[in-house]
């Protein structure tokens, strides 16, 4: 009975992570595609810079967190706050019919909730935050890659090289973050199959 219960826990945990991944991927891709064509003269250019900033911070934080060179609580706080702020912005924006005030409110709520979850050292939450932040790193890499191609098309070679290096860096952050997610997920499964008796 206990083993079957633990198997159900692992299954629900894995399905929960898959649902988080699908929702996050949809939210980030929708936001990135909505700002890719904007020019600096566009009234919404500030939105593009803000989104890019949150994606960049979340992606860099999870990449640094995977290296374990900085305090885990600090990197968890930063990655959780910035990544969940993006999801809050998207969710509140969609529910309110694209109203900017509600979208910003959602970003603030997500910032506070994500920061709390990122600091909280419960393994399951850490895995979910790392997954969201890894997808943010991929979103940043995608946006930077698109800007790299634009810079190449207008023969701005210095800018293209700089953006290309950043694209590679954020792809590396994505790989590091997803590897960390996999290791945490696997550890959770092992712990559930071989519970420690206290």
The residues, ordered by sequence, that sit 6+ positions from 85 with a Cβ below 8 Å of its Cβ are: 54, 107, 108, 110, 111, 114
Residue 74 has pLDDT above 80, yes or no: yes
The domain ranges of the chain are 2-137+177-193
- The pTM (predicted TM-score) of the whole model is 0.88
Tens digit of pLDDT for each residue in 179-195? Answer: 989 988 888 777 666 65
Q: Comparing 121 with 173, which gets the higher pLDDT?
A: 173
Q: Name the DSSP class of 194.
A: S
Name the average pLDDT for the chain.
Answer: 85
What are the start-end ranges of the H helices in the chain? 2-35, 45-67, 72-95, 100-119, 123-153, 157-193
Q: What's the pLDDT score for residue 56?
A: 92
Q: What angle do CA 131, 134, 135 make, to 5 degrees?
A: 90
Q: What's the pLDDT score for residue 22?
A: 96
Q: Which of 50-54, 123-127, 161-165 has the lowest mean pLDDT?
A: 123-127
Tens digit of pLDDT for each residue in 39-61? Answer: 777 887 788 888 889 999 999 98
Q: What's the pLDDT score for residue 3?
A: 63
Tens digit of pLDDT for each residue in 100-114? Answer: 889 889 999 999 998
Q: What's the pLDDT score for residue 122?
A: 45
Percent residues over pLDDT 90 in the chain: 46
């Amino acid at each position: 009975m206990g083993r079957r219960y633990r198997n159900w826990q692992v299954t629900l945990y894995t399905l929960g992570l898959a649902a988080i991944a699908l929702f996050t991927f949809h939210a980030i891709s929708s936001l990135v595609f909505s700002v890719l064509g904007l020019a600096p003269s566009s009234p919404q250019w500030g939105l593009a810079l803000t989104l890019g900033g949150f994606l960049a911070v979340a992606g860099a934080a999870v990449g640094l967190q995977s290296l374990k060179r900085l305090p885990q609580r600090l990197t968890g706080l930063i990655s959780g706050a910035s990544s969940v702020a993006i999801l809050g912005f998207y969710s509140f924006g969609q529910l309110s019919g694209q109203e900017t005030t509600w979208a910003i409110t959602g970003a603030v709520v997500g910032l506070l909730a994500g920061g709390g979850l990122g600091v909280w050292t419960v393994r399951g939450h850490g895995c979910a935050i790392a997954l969201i932040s890894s997808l943010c790193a991929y979103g940043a890499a995608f946006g930077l890659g698109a800007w790299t191609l634009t810079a190449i098309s207008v023969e701005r070679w210095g800018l293209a090289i700089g953006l290309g290096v950043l694209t590679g860096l954020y792809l590396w952050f994505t790989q590091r973050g997803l590897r960390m997610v996999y290791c945490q997920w696997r550890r959770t499964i092992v712990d559930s199959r071989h519970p420690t008796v206290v």
